[in-house]
Each structure stands twice: as C-alpha cells, then as structure tokens.
A and B are shown apart, each in its own frame.
Chain A
Amino acid sequence: MDLLFGFTRWTNKALMMVAGCLLVAMIVLACANIFLRLVWIPISGTFELMGYFGAVVTAFALGYTQMSKGHIAVDIVLKTFPQKGQRYIQITNHIICMGFFGIVSWRIARYAGTLWTTGEVTETLGIVYYPFVYCVALGCAVLALVFLADLARLFQPAREGKK
C-alpha cells in the first residue's frame, strides 16, 4: 500500500515539474514570437505549440490538483451524513471517477496510437503530435491512479484496526 502511495506522490511531483518547465516555455515562446513578429518574422507554428504545451501543462497537473483537493466540489450536504455514510459515498465517488478517467485515458491513448501509425503531422510545422496526445492520456491515467490511492487510503484504517 505504501508503495502505491509513494509511487502516486512521486509521479505527480515529477509531472508537476515537467508542467512547470513547459509553462515557462510557453511564456518564452509567446514573447519571442511577438518580439520577432514586430522586428522580423513570427516564429512558425507558435499557436500549434502553445496549444500542445498548454494541453500537457494542465493534463500533468490534474493528479496533483486532485491530491491537494483543488478541484471545486460541493460538500455541504455530504458533511451532514454520518461518518460511515460519508465513507461509503467516498468509496463510490472514487470508484466512479477512477473508472471514468481510466476510460478517458485509454481512449486518448488509442487516439494517439492511431496518430502514430498513420504518421499524422501538424498543419504548420509538419511535426508529429502524437507524443502530446500520449502526455494528456498519461495525465488522465495518473489522475485515475490518484483516485485508486484515495480509495486504498479509505480501506487502510480498517486494515490497521484489524491488526
């Protein structure tokens, strides 16, 4: 169990670091494009790259945001339920979310696979973009992993109690 928690925490931290670097890259790219557009010619494919970088930046932060309960939720009704009821609801909640993001991740990964095999390239730069699609699939998969860890955490006190 500790391995799962540690792996989830470590993976999310690593993804956040990559996302942070890409955020800075987005700023540099956008500013360089404006500057070069004013003095010479714009950087080709800036809009494409900004879109793909933005996708990776936010997808990689999905899991960490869930770990720090950063996604907006309405818990005023949930809090009125007894502890046991809250626990069952949270179990249901985590299973549904884990299943949903698992499906989303699998679907996006399948799409990325199709792009890879067909050799699909971007309109302006003419580069393959399936790696960015895989990154978004990875972000969703890691979010599903965070829900799995949260689910495991809900069972942990009962297991320790038995010991």
Chain B
Amino acid sequence: MSMTIIGITGIIVLLMALFVLGMPVGFVMGIVGFCGFWYAVSFNAAITMVGTDVWNTFSKYGLTVIPLFIFLGYLAFNSGIAERLYAAAYKWVGHWRGGLAIATIGADELFAAICGSNTATAATMGTVALPQMKKYNYDDRLSSGTVVTGGTLGTVMPPSVVMIIIGIQTEQSIIKLFLGGILPAILLGLLFVLTIVFLCWIHPEFGPAGPKTGMKEKIFALTGVIEALTIFVLVIGGLYTGLFTPTEAGAVGVFFALVVILVTGRITWKGFFNSIKETLKISSMVFFLVTGAIIFGRFLAITRLPYMVADYAASLPISPYLVLAVILVIYLVGGCFIDSLGFLVLTIPIFFPVGLALGFDPIWYAIILTMVTTLGAITPPVGVNIYVVKALAPDIELGTIFKSISYFLAACILAIVIIIAFPDIVTVIPNMVR
C-alpha cells in the first residue's frame, strides 16, 4: 500500500471513529495517529513516538500560556467584571433604539479583551444582558442573536485560546497573532452594531429605546471599564513591548485580576475554586487536543499527504482565493457538525500548509481561520453558544435563536470578506513588532 493511500485511509478511519464511536476528538487523533504510525513504520517506533510526544507536549513551556489565560477568563466570569462593563455601555447607549443590544456588543468587546473564550463571553454577557433586554421588551430575535454572536468576539479579540492553539500548532508567534486580532475584532463588533441599527430601523419594535441617563451618571459609569481596560493594556502592552512572554502576560493578567477581585471582594471562595476547577478541565482538554493533533500530524507527515495536498492546491490553475473560499466553506460546514475548536485542531495539519503553499501571510491566514472557526460556535446543530443562551433563557425557542443568528451571520461573513480584500487590517499592527 502506498503512503498516500495509508494517509487517506487514516483520515477515513479517523472520521469514522469520530462520528460512529463518539470518541473525544483529541483521543481519536492520538489513537489513529498511533495506529497509522505503527502500520507505516513499526510498533516500537509508534510506541516511542507516542510516549515522547505526550511528555514533550505536556511539558512545553509555550503551552503553559493556556491554563493561565483560561483562568483569567474564568476569574473575569465569576467576579462581576462583566456587570460593570455592561452597566457602563448601557448608560452611554441604552437610550438609543436597540441601545441595550449595542451595549451588549460593546461590553462583549471589552470582556473579550480579558477573556479568550467565546463560550465564556456568551455565557457571561447572556447572564447580564438577557434579563435587561427582556425587561425593556426587546424582541427575542434581537436579544438572543446579539448574545450568541457577540460571544464570537471572545475568540477574535486577544487574548484568545484559539489563537494560542493555532500559534502552537503552526509555530507562529502568539504575540503577532494576538496583535493581528485586534482590528478584526473591532471591525466585527462594528458590523454587529450596524446589523442591530439596521434591524431596529426595519423593525422598531425589536429594540425599544431605554430610559435616558445624565452626563454625570455616564461619566461615573466609566469607572466600570477601568479594571478590564487595565488588564488588557497590561497584557497586550506587555506583549507588544516585549516585556513579557505570552505565559508571563497570562500570569500578570491573572495576578492583577485576583488583586482587583480580592480588594473589591467581588468573588466568593466557591467562585474562586470553581474557576480553578473549570480552568483545569478545559486546559487538560485543550492539551490533549493539541497532543492528539501532534501525534496525528506525525503520522500524516510520514505519509507526506499534507505536502502533496499543499503542492496540488498550489499547482491548480485557479486563483488562490478560490482555494481559500473552498477551505472556508469546508470550515463553515465542518463547524456545523464538529465542535469548532476540535475541527480546527483536526484540520490544521492539512489546511495550514495549503495556505502557506498558496503564498498567504501566515498571521493573516491564521486570523481568517480563527474568524471562520468562531462561526462553528454559532451555527446549528452543534453551535455551543446557541445552547448556552438556550440554557440561560429556556423560554426562547431554539428556532427563534437560529433565526436571530441568520441576521448576524451576514455581518460575520462580510467581516471575513473585508479582511480578505484588505489584509492590512490584520497585518498592520503585527508588522510594527520586530
């Protein structure tokens, strides 16, 4: 059997094990990679490779950034920072038509700047914003869609767990990835706001205007932004100036968040221990996802399949952007059926070399993949953000949430198209770093 056939068989077995056995994505990749390596080389080589890869990956200094940023996100989630961010945004734009939804996006943007997870962002803002929007008679189609899609900012705005994983898997600079995500996240947020304005212009009953607040109250409410902004400036500023490594930036962010939380007394011991427990669970899941992908990547590498696919894609007599469009459609469809993070880790060994062979800037390409991956979190049937909002507001029908997402999906796709047309939106800030 030729190496190419072995590689393709490995992918088919992997997908079958994934869907039919319902085995965790990271484990499937590790097991299929191990068996494939065993078949293609030898049992002894496979067993040595697996043992070495698990230890080497788990003990990698670069990966220690993951638990720290996840912990930062959970501390922010359990500490009431989101309430203060929302209150500030609400005071400034709440009196506009659709103002509460715009405030939700504004608070999402700021919360995402300290939290790297779209689920945590959606859950936090959903808890805070959904009751408020219900109180002011916002239509479920606007309120649920805003919270579900606003959560995607958690992945695009640095710090982002998805970017960390892409950076580690593709050996790209996490600092440059973080910096590259800032302008796309702002663009995405602006497009969400425009969508809300447009929806409320067509259907004024979707988002009735809230009560007005005085300038004094507005100014005072800005204090709610200070702590989140300080953490963001500390983390991103430290990375930008080269003062910290990403891991150290995560630790400093956690330390500052802990100081703020302890001084203000806004977290209980239960909340603190819960943050640690959730951090450990998600970190170990992510670590084994990365480890499984590395083991599977080793198997694919000896079959030379990724390089063959990359060479083939590069030799096609069509525009590289057409190939990119096909890749993005695969991510969009795949993200509907497989958890977006799992799908990303699974496909990077194949699609990242293709992007490089097509001559795309690696940071720009990684940010595009990050953005399209986030869509998996808001597209049915497995879009995790949808179920987060459904759990927070059981009275909202799933059908209503699906419909509400369709309004915002256009904004997400438009953002990706704009970034493809104007790559500088991504590359301008990372290029300033030497």
A: residues with CB less than 8 A from B are: 16, 19-20, 23-24, 26-27, 30-31, 33-34, 47-48, 50-55, 57-62, 64-66, 68, 70-78, 89-90, 92-93, 96-97, 100, 103-104, 107-108, 110-111, 132-133, 136, 140
Residues of A within 8 A of B58 (CB): 54-55, 58-59, 136
Kindly identify which residue among B20, B25, B342 contacts A77, using a CB–CB cutoff of 8 Å. Answer: B20
**Chain B binding surface, main DSSP class:** helix
B: residues with CB less than 8 A from A are: 18-27, 30-31, 34, 47-48, 50-52, 54-55, 58-61, 63-64, 67-68, 71, 243-244, 247-248, 250-252, 254-255, 258, 273, 276-277, 279-285, 287-289, 337-339, 341-342, 381-382
Nearest chain A CB to B402 CB, angstrom units: 16
Residues of B within 8 A of A110 (CB): 51
Q: Is the CB of A93 within 8 A of B22?
A: yes
Nearest chain A CB to B357 CB, angstrom units: 29
Nearest chain A CB to B56 CB, angstrom units: 9
Taken together as a complex, chains A and B put the C-alpha atoms of A93 and B19 apart, in Å, by 12
Which residue of A has the minimal Cβ distance to B62?
Answer: A51
Which residue of B has the minimal Cβ distance to A103?
Answer: B47
Q: Is the CB of A34 within 8 A of B19?
A: no
Nearest chain B CB to A63 CB, angstrom units: 9
Given contacts A20-B277, A72-B339, A107-B48, contact A54 B284 (CB under 8 A): no
Taken together as a complex, chains A and B put the C-alpha atoms of A2 and B261 apart, in Å, by 41
Q: Is the CB of B67 within 8 A of A57?
A: yes
Q: How many A-B residue pairs have CB under 8 A?
A: 172
Given contacts A26-B67, A108-B51, contact A57 B283 (CB under 8 A): yes
Q: Is the CB of B339 within 8 A of A74?
A: yes
Given contacts A97-B27, A104-B54, contact A89 B61 (CB under 8 A): no
Which residue of A has the minimal Cβ distance to B19?
Answer: A77
Residues of A within 8 A of B281 (CB): 61, 64-65, 68, 70
Taken together as a complex, chains A and B put the C-alpha atoms of A108 and B47 apart, in Å, by 10
Which residue of A has the minimal Cβ distance to B64?
Answer: A54
Q: Is the CB of A74 within 8 A of B19?
A: yes
Return 15 A-B CB contacts under 8 Å, by A number.
A20-B273, A24-B276, A50-B247, A54-B59, A58-B288, A61-B280, A65-B280, A68-B281, A71-B288, A75-B22, A78-B20, A90-B22, A100-B34, A104-B50, A136-B59
Nearest chain B CB to A8 CB, angstrom units: 16
Taken together as a complex, chains A and B put the C-alpha atoms of A62 and B283 apart, in Å, by 9
Closest 4 CB pairs of A and B: A107-B51, A30-B251, A71-B24, A78-B22
Taken together as a complex, chains A and B put the C-alpha atoms of A51 and B144 apart, in Å, by 41
Taken together as a complex, chains A and B put the C-alpha atoms of A68 and B382 apart, in Å, by 19
Kindly identify which residue among B55, B67, B285 contacts A54, using a CB–CB cutoff of 8 Å. Answer: B67
Residues of B within 8 A of A92 (CB): 21
Which residue of B has the minimal Cβ distance to A81?
Answer: B20
Q: Is the CB of A34 within 8 A of B50?
A: no
Which residue of B has the minimal Cβ distance to A112?
Answer: B55
Q: Is the CB of B248 within 8 A of A54?
A: no
Taken together as a complex, chains A and B put the C-alpha atoms of A105 and B378 apart, in Å, by 37
Q: Is the CB of A20 within 8 A of B276?
A: yes
Nearest chain B CB to A137 CB, angstrom units: 9
Nearest chain B CB to A20 CB, angstrom units: 5
Q: Is the CB of B283 within 8 A of A72?
A: no
